[in-house]
Amino acid sequence: MNSSLNDKASRQVPGVRLGTARAGIKRADRDDLLVIEATEGSACAAVFTRNAFCAAPVIVAREHLLALSQGLGPAGFAERSDVASGEPETARPRWLLVNSGNANAGTGSRGLEDARFTCRTLAEQVGGHPEQVLPFSTGIIGEYLPVNKIAAALPDALEALDEEGWEKAACAIMTTDTRPKLATRTLEIGGQRITLIGIAKGSGMIHPDMATMLAFIATDARIEPASLQDCLADAVDRTFNCITVDGDTSTNDACVLIASGVSKAPELKRDSADFPVFAEALREVCGALAEAIVRDGEGATKLIRIVVEEARDPAEARAVAKTIAHSPLVKTAFFASDPNWGRILAAVGRAGCAGLAIDRVSIWLGEVLIVEHGGRAAGYTEAQGTEVMARDDILVRVALGRGTAVQTVLTCDLSYDYVRINAEYRT
């Protein structure tokens, strides 16, 4: 598989166009509005936040997907009968409408109407149904969406639609991010080249069950919608749901996968021989974006990779890894390059492993064994720990001695700048 963006073919997904514009939602000097257009007949899969206070665009996007899946939307359309075969086909999403600078969360019934208004406005301009538009927002919570600014900027975004618009799109969805996040993979199926490209935003309020992140991925592969949803759900669970910056789950996060289906490669189904190859490429794109989010964590100076192995089951492994990753004491020790390994030990001990035999637990910092047989490793020295903690990328490995399950979670350190960024977020 190739991951280069140097050649022109790797910078575009046939059948998917992106356009950005400046709506002036929070700042007037940068693009903050994005429209993604998928060709007729494209398949779409999506995963959303599990926060009970989910934002208005999340609610509306779910409503539209449900309406389309049932073949009947609020606008009264039922099924398309204009497909070549003459067989009816349920209408599918065609446009994603994304804004940064305002989350449209905590805005009650007006927020819902504002989200629906933007969908109707875009649908009117492109000749589609409002239910074929999925809205997404990111930014400040509790303020009403400036719908008039968005409506005024939509013609510019539509005029800018381009299959090579990925890099501009990655910049337009940023909030506290310090750099755009983009990943690509190409693979060959049935002698035909298939491309996957993804963009994401996220820097703070990052926690498993997704985060204050938006991710949009597209491919020209032909794949049935049910298989596409399964593939995305699995990729998200293994990547975006295994990162944390600060332990806060957002109101707005979403990950969407569009398959334009214009490739001449054979259609992919669950039982296709090439389905695992495609699934692995999707996990790689999601994994690269997830890691980029953690590396760009608010105020972060280090990437921490926590691997828990020899757990009884995957849930136990994940619980231990997340307990370590969420600990402010552990994270501040990493920022200070302080090999205070007792904080890691304490986190393992409070992770809820019933009947944990501490004399069977081993912990490493990088390649250095720091804990064995229930206490400090005999050969460990403070100088060894200090050398590892000074690195930009640090591996923490924990062996529980209870089974064969393994889980990796990515996190970052907690610095002074994290407090400053979040204290000044609204000012």
- pLDDT class of 425 with cuts at 50, 70, 90: low
Q: 212 catalytic, yes or no?
A: yes
320 and 355 fall within a common domain? yes
The structure tokens listed for 405 are 């399950």
| Beta strand 368-372 pairing with 375-376 | antiparallel
Please give the average per-residue pLDDT across 202-221, as a whole number: 73
d(CA 191, CA 294): 36
In a domain, 186, yes or no: yes
Give the burial string for 236-250 (b: 16+ CB within 10 Å, else e): bbebbbbbbbbbebb
pLDDT confidence of residue 250: 59
132 and 269 fall within a common domain? yes
Last residue in a domain, options 244, 279, 295 = 295
254 and 389 fall within a common domain? no
Predicted confidence (pLDDT) at residue 73 exceeds the cutoff of 60: no
Total count of domains within the chain: 2
Q: What is the pLDDT of residues 103-142, one digit of tens each?
A: 999 999 999 999 999 999 999 999 999 999 999 999 888 9
Predicted confidence (pLDDT) at residue 87 exceeds the cutoff of 50: no
Please give the average per-residue pLDDT across 234-248, as a whole number: 83
User: What backbone phi and psi angles, to 5 degrees, belong to 173?
Assistant: -95, 0
287 and 313 fall within a common domain? no
248 and 283 fall within a common domain? yes
Q: Which domain holds residue 415?
A: 303-423
- pLDDT class of 343 with cuts at 50, 70, 90: very high
Specify the range with the lowest mean pLDDT, choosing from 249-253, 317-321, 328-332, 359-363. Answer: 249-253
In a domain, 147, yes or no: yes
Predicted confidence (pLDDT) at residue 21 exceeds the cutoff of 70: yes
166 and 307 fall within a common domain? no
CATH of the domain at 410: 3.10.20.340
Q: How far is CA 232 from CA 119, 254, 307, in A?
A: 24, 12, 23
- 330 and 347 Cβ atoms separated by less than 8 Å: yes
337 and 261 fall within a common domain? no
pLDDT confidence of residue 49: 82
Last residue in a domain, options 233, 262, 295 = 295
pLDDT confidence of residue 175: 85
270 and 325 fall within a common domain? no
Q: Choosing from 20, 49, 175, 212, which is the catalytic residue?
A: 212
CATH of the domain at 256: 3.60.70.12
Predicted confidence (pLDDT) at residue 79 exceeds the cutoff of 80: no
257 and 351 fall within a common domain? no
Q: What is the pLDDT of residues 386-408, one digit of tens each?
A: 999 999 999 999 999 999 999 99
Last residue in a domain, options 268, 295, 322 = 295
In a domain, 314, yes or no: yes
In a domain, 406, yes or no: yes
pLDDT confidence of residue 246: 62
252 and 357 fall within a common domain? no
Predicted confidence (pLDDT) at residue 369 exceeds the cutoff of 90: yes
283 and 366 fall within a common domain? no
- 305 and 323 Cβ atoms separated by less than 8 Å: no
Predicted confidence (pLDDT) at residue 238 exceeds the cutoff of 50: yes
In a domain, 3, yes or no: no
In a domain, 1, yes or no: no
pLDDT confidence of residue 427: 57
Which are the contacts of 205, defined by CB distance < 8 A and separation ≥ 6? 211, 212, 245, 246, 248, 249, 250
In a domain, 92, yes or no: yes
pLDDT confidence of residue 249: 58
Give the mean pLDDT of the chain: 89
In a domain, 29, yes or no: yes
